[in-house]
Amino acid sequence: MTGTDTLLVSDDGRVRVVTISRPKALNALNPEVIAGLAQVLDDTAAAARAGEVRALVLTGAGEKSFVAGADIAAMADMSVGTAREFARAGHGVGEALAGLPIPTIAAVNGFALGGGCELALACDFIYAAENAKFGQPEVKLGVIPGFGGTQRLARRVGLARALELCLTGDTIDAAEAARIGLANRVVPAGEALSVALAAAKKIADWGPVAVAEAKRVLHAGAGLPLAQANALEIEAFAGLFDTADQKEGMAAFLGKRRAEFKGA
């Protein structure tokens, strides 16, 4: 286990688990945590390129909270300039998660509010424990989401639902989050991390180049007109026929054996 006082990093086989750990503040995100996340994601990108890490799971310490938002005490006296820098740094973390060539899964235990909901949304998908609570309560503090809640959330659940969450500040439970497509799955309390780890380990067995390409094309295509997005898919699909993993994957199927992917 490595990391800082507030961020724990451990590798379980080829899956990296990053745990935000500020239990006294329900794992709220202060500038130190955001800077730590940026550093960890930078290191993870290098480890992914080296083939050492094939999936990342992000979670919060303890069962009560994933992340209860940005740290309100740290934000209370921010100037416009400092707040802009803080939001930019947060968005940098979101972009780094999306840009990793490996899947990222949020294991949401308890509160995922404000910046916590936004951090989960920046992952490729979310598994929510039964006790998870999602919301964008920023309007109650006189601000708005600053880490993707007005944009990434709308793309995930649709404009009207994102408007409802951002304008009412209401909190929704795990079942409702799954119903509207914010969480992919609800799992028993205490099992979000183990279920996310199992999914991450499964993905880590598949061809890493194909997994990276699937993620890249899905993310890149989401903001494009359909014809352009389909063209991206065609090129990525064809390009994979120049990899050893494609030859191995198809030969293994035809030979009725398990594929041994090398990531090349």
List residues binding ligand CO8 (CB under 6 A).
25-26, 28-29, 34, 68-73, 86-87, 90, 111, 113-115, 137-138, 141, 145-147
CB of 41 to ligand CO8, least distance (A): 14
Indicate the angle between helix axes 244-254 and 208-222, nearest 10 degrees. 110
Measured CA to CA, the distance from residue 82 to residue 136 in angstroms comes to 21
Q: What angle do CA 103, 229, 184 make, to 5 degrees?
A: 35
Which lies closer to ligand CO8 via its Cβ, residue 68 or residue 209?
Answer: 68
> Is 260 tagged catalytic?
no
CA 256 – CA 264 distance, rounded (Å): 22
Q: How far apart are CB 139 and ligand CO8 at their closest, in Å?
A: 10
Catalytic residue among 32, 52, 85, 118: 118
Strand 171-173 relative to strand 133-135: parallel, antiparallel, unpaired?
antiparallel
3-state secondary structure of 259: coil
| Catalytic-labelled residue, pool 85, 95, 138, 213 | 138
Identity of the residue, 98 or 199, whose beta carbon is nearer to ligand CO8 in the bound complex: 98
Q: Is 63 a catalytic residue?
A: no
**Positions of E strands within the chain:** 2-3, 7-12, 15-20, 55-60, 65-67, 104-108, 111-113, 125-129, 133-135, 171-173, 185-187
For ligand CO8, the closer CB: 70 or 153: 70
Min CB(70)–ligand CO8 separation in Å:
4
Residue nearer to ligand CO8 on the CB measure, 134 or 147:
147
CA distance 112 to 38: 19
- Smallest distance from the beta carbon of 193 to ligand CO8, in angstroms? 20
Residues catalogued as catalytic: 118, 138
